[in-house]
Amino acid sequence: MTQPVIAQKLPFAVDLEAGDYFWCRCGRSNNQPFCDGSHKGTVFAPVKFTLAEKKKVWLCGCKHTGSMPFCDGTHSHL
């Protein structure tokens, strides 16, 4: 597996509390958009990100963004 699985072709809009999170990079997690360990045995690893305050974020669902873990619109070109 050298390419991530496209979980969905739209971003995940989520309201998150301040803290650390692990975004699924491989696309195989059953807990999208967050990692559940499904990447084990692949070349992928989750992407850790930290929020300093509570906020709404748009996390990439296609797994091809250039600004991991946030959506940059790449899904519109897939």
pLDDT at residue number 20: 98
Which two three-digit tokens encode residue 3?
């390419």
> What does pTM read for this prediction?
0.94
- The tally of CA atoms less than 13 A away on the side-chain side of residue 38 is 18
| Residues 3-23 pLDDT 10s | 999 999 999 999 999 999 999
Q: Is the pLDDT of residue 1 over 90?
A: no
Strand 47-51 and strand 12-16: pairing?
unpaired
pLDDT at residue number 2: 87
pLDDT at residue number 57: 98
| Residues 31-61 pLDDT 10s | 999 999 999 999 999 999 999 999 999 999 9
Domains of the chain from N-terminus onward: 1-8+18-68 (3.40.5)
Q: Select from 17, 37, 19 the least CA-distant residue to 29.
A: 37
CB count, 10 Å around CB of 53?
8
Do the beta carbons of residue 21 and residue 29 sit within 8 Å? Answer: no
